[in-house]
Structure 1
Amino acid sequence: MATSMAAALAASLPAPSAAPVPAAPTYETIPASMSKVIDIEAEIPLMIVQLDGMVVTKIIKHAREAPSTTAHGLLLGLDLDGTLEVSNSFPLPHHSGDDDEKSTKSVARYQASMLRSLKEVQADDSVVGFYQATTLGAFFNQTLVDTQAIHQDKLRHGGIVIVHDLSQTARGNASFRAFRLTSNFLAAYKKQNFSTTSLIQHRLTFSSILEEVPLKIRTNPLLSSFIGTMTEPSLSSGLDIAPATATNSTIPASFAALDLGTSGLTRNLEQIVDAVDNYRTEEGNLAYLSRQIARERGRADNYVAKRKEENQARVAQGLAPLPEEDIARLFKIPAEPSRLESMLLLGQIDAFGKSLGGMASTGLVKMYGAKAGSGTST
């Protein structure tokens, strides 16, 4: 009864008026010739990279917790008036046991999921580059070059790579540097030609692969005040301590400056020896391939010369010359090998040498200071 009454009342009520459906807005398509003119920011060259303090702490945390020195991740932010503002970052997983194809697909899925999640919470989701943790300043490797080449081809201002040196951070110096590939290297990379002629034509050496971009770190005033409060000495609550020494701080005192810096010299020398051995092996492989090319080219030249003499003799006898044959089909002359790996190894050797020089000079000064402070006579 109650149900039929409710149905009757509902039937007697006037039908609700349908809400008007708004017309879909129409937009005029921007002509292809005007697309670059509209994007004014793309015409402003990138002059400086601004790294947020939160990004610095996230990179340091990821590098410390990573199982190896292969910590890497993506940088998010925007470019404005020639300044690339990096406001956020997230690490990418590292799969050591999987094959390359499976690892690449897994990283791509994780990256797409993270960017989608950041977009849902209205956070920065524009990729502006990536970061790479390294040790002893040796960041020259094929993976870094390939990744940065993809970014500079896809991103508006090419993106940048932030290199974080773990060995410097362990000594109390947070080392962050921003790099991007040079235009000469990109021209050779797009052609995938790193022969001797190409290197001379593009004037490429290991020092001209990357160019450094000025970098500054922006800290939040609230965060700076908080850190200042933590480092400010305060009175201790102990009653049996002398007033002169009754001060402490939330952050304990660091004695890293008293370390003479001799512990990393052995590791640095081992890295230099390994890099030199790898370079000698690579040069040996290049020399072997060069000898093969010279041998095949000599055989081809001898064949051409012999065929030319036979044709001259046939013409002198009044006979028709023999037809010319395709030399490339008869003789498989290998292409000139790429010298990119040699350049990267030279860059590693140079980085290890500079790191060793800086570490040794700092340790030497500290040792002289410690000796002078102890009052020992020379």
Structure 2
Amino acid sequence: MATSMAAALAASLPAPQAASAPVAPVHEPIPASMSKLIDIEVEISLNLVQLEGLVVSKIIKHCSESHSSVHGLLLGLDLDGTLEVTNSFPLPHSTGDDDEKSSKTTSRYQNAMLRALKEVRADDSVVGFYQSTTMGAFFSQTLVDTQAIHHEKLRHGGIVVVHDVSQCNRGNASFRAFKLLKEFLEAYRKTPFSAKSMINHKLTFNSIMQEVPLKIRTNPLLGSFISTLSERRPTSLTQPLPSEVYHTSLSPLYSTLHLGNPTLTKNLENVVEAIDNYKTEEGNLAYHTRQIAREKARAEAYVAKRREESANRVAQGLAPLPEEDVSRLFKIPREPSRLDSMLLLGQVDAYAKTLEGTSGLSLVKMYAARAGTDANREVFQ
């Protein structure tokens, strides 16, 4: 009975069909621009640095609120040769009393900020640093060390955006982007920077960093909002007109029309101070060079005397004197690094270029004012 019911049930089921062959998936061709992004092995050169308007505002605010040099981190995305910087945050300013303690504090603060940005799904990929400067002189040992240490960790070795506060005070938003050159990195890994190493790598202060084109992308909505900013002012009228109650808070600046240049004296002082620092560093290098030459001369004289005594003993039929390790008897100092001297030369060059620009602008203003005065004098005569 059970067998007949199973046979009837099997007869009622549909006949099994042959398994169909699997359909091969169809892949669409990847565009050439996207293939570079997908293949992480492809090395795309950095062609442009693009700053968002929000990043520019944050950097200007941070630099204007401090009376000393400040720095911070840049966050963004590398997209087909364009480094888009979409966010930034400042780093704590170290006083220099305890470098190890301040370094740990900065590291903890940086990690906490990156975790917080990641939690809110914001850009948390570090692409470089920003630093404030005055009158274009941004070369420093700290900047070079920071860039060189993080070169292997960041895309394209990381970039540094330099903001000139002195230009910002005159109404000019001065932003420049730089990255370290490969030739300098090779010499940096073979420290110290001796004269021979600098000659072999053809290093000067112009070959430390390469400037990268920089573009600032503004938001039309942000521009419209700034243009409509207004503030209330007191009035004695009972029903004043709207134009009498509000006025724009972004009033025009007429400082560019002033004949005097208050930064010219400060610029000259910076040039003189940078030259004095360079001469002091050159004096220290000359002193160390003389010390090295003196110790080498003593070692060579000792070796020559030992060789002469050994030759006399051999002539007398005696055993020669045993060889001695001269490096243990004479402590010859290592050649000092010339990196500080090269960076000081870069500061002198930056101050000189800024002085050339400011003095040239002042001369143009003075000639224009003189021409206007002469024209008015002729009219009244």
Q: TM-score, normalised by structure 2?
A: 0.82
Residues 377, 313 of structure 1: CA spacing in aligned structure 2 closer, same or farther, 3 A cutoff? farther
For residue 112 of structure 1, what is the amino acid of its counterpart?
A: N
User: How far apart, in 2, do the equivalents of 1:294 and 1:360 lie?
Assistant: 45
Which is further off, 177-186 or 319-328? 319-328
1:261–1:362 contact (8 Å) kept in structure 2: no
Aligned to 1:330: 329
Matched residue SS, 1:296: helix
**Alpha-carbon displacement from aligned partner over 1:28-80 (angstroms, at most 9, x marks no partner):** xxxxxxxx9975375111111011111001100000111x2311110000101
2:180–2:208 contact (8 Å) kept in structure 1: yes
Unaligned runs of 5+ in 1: 1-35, 232-237
Aligned to 2:63: 63
Residues 261, 58 of structure 1: CA spacing in aligned structure 2 closer, same or farther, 3 A cutoff? farther
Question: How many equivalent pairs are there?
Answer: 334
Aligned to 2:119: 120
The alignment status of 1:143 with 2:142, answered yes or no, reads: yes
2:37–2:79 contact (8 Å) kept in structure 1: no
User: How far apart, in 1, do the equivalents of 2:89 and 2:55 lie?
Assistant: 9
- Give me the CA root mean square deviation: 2.6
Pairing of 1:287-306 with structure 2 (within 5 A): 287-306=286-305
For residue 155 of structure 1, what is the amino acid of its counterpart?
A: L
Residues 42, 135 of structure 1: CA spacing in aligned structure 2 closer, same or farther, 3 A cutoff? farther
User: How far apart, in 1, do the equivalents of 2:165 and 2:157 lie?
Assistant: 26
**Alpha-carbon displacement from aligned partner over 1:104-123 (angstroms, at most 9, x marks no partner):** 11111111111111011000
Cα deviation for residue 305 of structure 1 reads: 1.1
Cα deviation for residue 373 of structure 1 reads: 2.5
User: How far apart, in 2, do the equivalents of 1:305 and 1:261 lie?
Assistant: 68
Cα deviation for residue 97 of structure 1 reads: 6.5
Aligned to 2:159: 160
- Identity value in percent: 66
2:55–2:86 contact (8 Å) kept in structure 1: yes
For residue 370 of structure 2, what is the amino acid of its counterpart?
A: K
1:149–1:186 contact (8 Å) kept in structure 2: yes
Which has the larger Rg? 2
For residue 56 of structure 1, what is the amino acid of its counterpart?
A: V
The alignment status of 1:44 with 2:44, answered yes or no, reads: yes
User: How far apart, in 2, do the equivalents of 1:355 and 1:84 lie?
Assistant: 28
Q: TM-score, normalised by structure 1?
A: 0.83
Cα deviation for residue 249 of structure 1 reads: 4.3
The alignment status of 1:111 with 2:110, answered yes or no, reads: yes
Residues 248, 354 of structure 1: CA spacing in aligned structure 2 closer, same or farther, 3 A cutoff? same
Cα deviation for residue 260 of structure 1 reads: 2.8
Pairing of 1:250-329 with structure 2 (within 5 A): 250-329=249-328
Residues 97, 329 of structure 1: CA spacing in aligned structure 2 closer, same or farther, 3 A cutoff? closer
Aligned to 2:368: 369
Cα deviation for residue 85 of structure 1 reads: 0.4
Residues 71, 37 of structure 1: CA spacing in aligned structure 2 closer, same or farther, 3 A cutoff? closer
2:47–2:82 contact (8 Å) kept in structure 1: yes
User: How far apart, in 2, do the equivalents of 1:254 and 1:37 lie?
Assistant: 45
Unaligned runs of 5+ in 2: 1-35, 231-236
For residue 252 of structure 1, what is the amino acid of its counterpart?
A: S
1:47–1:83 contact (8 Å) kept in structure 2: yes
User: How far apart, in 2, do the equivalents of 1:283 and 1:253 lie?
Assistant: 47
Cα deviation for residue 293 of structure 1 reads: 0.3
Matched residue SS, 2:175: strand
Residues 354, 261 of structure 1: CA spacing in aligned structure 2 closer, same or farther, 3 A cutoff? farther
The alignment status of 1:88 with 2:110, answered yes or no, reads: no
1:42–1:157 contact (8 Å) kept in structure 2: no
User: How far apart, in 1, do the equivalents of 2:174 and 2:260 lie?
Assistant: 17
Cα deviation for residue 98 of structure 1 reads: 4.0
Which is further off, 75-84 or 183-192? 183-192
Cα deviation for residue 135 of structure 1 reads: 0.3
